[in-house]
Amino acid sequence: MEVVHKFCHKHILGLEQLSPDDIDFLLRSAASFKEISTRQIKKVPALRGRTVINLFFEPSTRTRLSFEVAAKRMSADTFNISASTSSLKKGETLIDTALNLAAMKPDIIIIRHSHSGSPGLLAKHTKASIINAGDGTHEHPSQGLLDMMTVLEKKGRIGGLKIAIIGDIAHSRVAHSNIIGFTKMGANVSVSGPATLLPMGIEHLGATVCSSVDEAVEGADVIMALRIQSERQKDPLIPSLREYATFFGINKRALTLAKPDALIMHPGPMNRGVELDPDLADGPHSVILDQVTNGVAMRMALLYAIMGGGEG
């Protein structure tokens, strides 16, 4: 007999707070929501009458759009607030913003913010459910979940797989959520990149730190290349993007070290030819567009679960 898991989180602040059962529940739920996106009429009434606010303090097209599409397919009313089109940058504090939004009685606020921990601060000052759509260098839980969903879909399992995450681990909330999530689900996560971009104590999140990219990708089932931001040259964390591409970029040679059926992933947006060889990005190993498709399904699952749809 299958035991129905009860999902009882009000907020999604990070994968750190979710149990393997919670993650498993979301992965299954997202798989069933994915079917909706293939219908001619891509809409279900699950969140009819619910108000969802997209509160984005950092520019983002992909994630914001993905959440918006997810909410609309669930029939929720959605509103977008971004820093450039509001008073958010004119001296109003996050708590002021929270109190103002609370007055509009939203059910869910999806927040992206450049400061780690902001979603939790928002959660303390409003009654709405909060979904973290990326906070500083902390977590990006929906991305971690959609990455796990993509791997599960392609590999049939997560447990026991070797996941190599390459690049700017220090500044990547995607890497953090993926390390936490994949480790919780029984995968082995190896990380590598320039030592300047591997944060102190990353192994405490469950990752194995490899001193070379080759070591990290050897025998890997999944290779995830992270976006390298050009500002890192100035910091100074890397000498140049050219040198980065040569020594840390994922190319065809690196792929030969991985399992023959290895998946290539990238959370986007991509610097083609820097962290990832363009041929690989568009090649048969790449599941980058599957990640985008699954993003909508996973975000539908998240919205549904925190609105009580997780009760068995």
Residue 40: CB minimum distance to other proteins, A? 42
Enumerate the β-bridge partners of residue 276. Answer: 250, 272
Q: Which is nearer to other proteins, 172 or 188 (CB)?
A: 172
Window 153-192: residues binding other proteins (CB under 8 A): 173, 176
139 binds other proteins per the rule CB under 8 A: yes
91 token code pair: 């001296």
96, 100, 101, 102: CA torsion to nearest 10? 100
Q: Which is nearer to other proteins, 47 or 123 (CB)?
A: 123
Give CA–CA dist 163/216, Å, rounded: 8
Measure the N-to-C terminal CA separation of the chain; round to a whole number of Å: 14
Residue 116: CB minimum distance to other proteins, A? 4
Residue 58: CB minimum distance to other proteins, A? 13
| Nearest one of 123, 80, 117, 68 to 98, comparing CA atoms | 123
Exposed, middle or buried, 105 (CB in 10 Å: 0-12/13-18/19+)? Answer: exposed
Q: Which is nearer to other proteins, 93 or 212 (CB)?
A: 93
199 binds other proteins per the rule CB under 8 A: yes
Residue 197: CB minimum distance to other proteins, A? 12
The CA–CA distances, whole Å, from 278 to 40, 123, 156, 252 equal: 33, 40, 27, 10
Window 108-137: residues binding other proteins (CB under 8 A): 113, 115-118, 120-121, 135-137
Q: What share of the chain is helix, strand, coil (3-state, %, to 5)?
A: 45, 15, 40
Q: For other proteins, which stretch binds (CB under 8 A), given 3-11, 149-157, 195-203, 249-257?
A: 195-203
- The single residue among 12, 71, 94, 265 that binds other proteins, judged by CB under 8 A, is 94
Window 15-44: residues binding other proteins (CB under 8 A): 16
58 binds other proteins per the rule CB under 8 A: no
Give CA–CA dist 157/13, Å, rounded: 25
Judged by the rule CB under 8 A, the positions of this chain that interact with other proteins are 16, 93-95, 113, 115-118, 120-121, 135-139, 173, 176, 199-202, 204-205
